[in-house]
């Protein structure tokens, strides 16, 4: 808790998103991370 990272990801399935969108990263039914889209590259 409390750690911050900057990462670049490539989605397997296309999804509509905009800058500022909040998202959660889940694994095995548990939320392991959350963040905000800051920049769309493509």
Residue among 36, 9, 16 at smallest CA distance from 24: 36
Q: What is the mean pLDDT of the chain?
A: 93
Share of the chain above pLDDT 90, in %: 90
| Average pLDDT for 7-25 | 95
Question: Domains, the chain, ranges and CATH?
Answer: 1-42 (2.40.30.10)
Does the pLDDT at position 1 exceed 80?
A: no
pLDDT reported for residue 2: 81
Q: Following DSSP, what letter does each residue of 1-42 receive, concatenated?
A: -----------SS-----TT-EEEEEETTEEEEEEE------
42: pLDDT confidence band, cut at 50, 70 and 90? confident
Contact yes or no for 22/36 (Cβ under 8 A): yes
C-alpha distances in Å from residue 17, one per residue of 2, 5, 32: 25, 20, 20
Mean pLDDT on 12-22: 95
């Amino acid at each position: 808790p409390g750690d911050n990272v900057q990462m670049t990801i490539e989605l397997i399935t296309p999804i509509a998103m905009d800058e500022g969108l909040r998202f959660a990263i889940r694994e095995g039914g548990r939320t392991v991370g959350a963040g905000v889209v800051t920049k769309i590259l493509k």
